[in-house]
Structure 1
Amino acid sequence: MTTVHVAASEPGAQFLAPNQIVPLLIGATVDEVERELVLQTLARCDGNRTRASRVLGLSVRTLRNKIRLYAASGIEVPAYQD
């Protein structure tokens, strides 16, 4: 299983339509896709939980609960950057 990283803010990166991204995700579980989306959104938001929750359409509480689960299972979560 490989993880697909689409970083549109990086030089030379391309924007992909959802119908182009979905085939790349086949074989991954919904939990894996959600976790990667949450972690990459947090990284792009410099670890700002409030901003990331808005981008993701989640409440801050729901995002914090997901972050706690990831951290408890040993997954590195992006820290807030000033």
Structure 2
Amino acid sequence: MPDQAGTSAQRIRIGLTGLAFAFLLVLLGSVISRSSRSDATNEAAAAVTNEPSEPLAELGVAPGAQEAVSNNSAE
């Protein structure tokens, strides 16, 4: 079965078109995920500033800095 001259060129063209489409799809996904990641980073930074500085003291497991300062000044 002899190959026709047009079929190999057509297969190469279709393959390159598919690779270009896959590249653009990955590029678009990267842009979307990067923008959502920066929003999440901003939200995480805002949450860090609102967190208590001593979470163990808030739970009552360890003495807090305020209690330690008041205990030292009372002595």
TM-score between the two structures when normalised by the length of structure 1: 0.22
- TM-score, length of structure 2 as denominator length: 0.24
- Based on CA coordinates, which of the two structures has the bigger radius of gyration? 2
With a CA cutoff of 8 Å and minimum separation of 6, indicate the structure with the bigger relative contact order: 1
More helix by percentage: 2
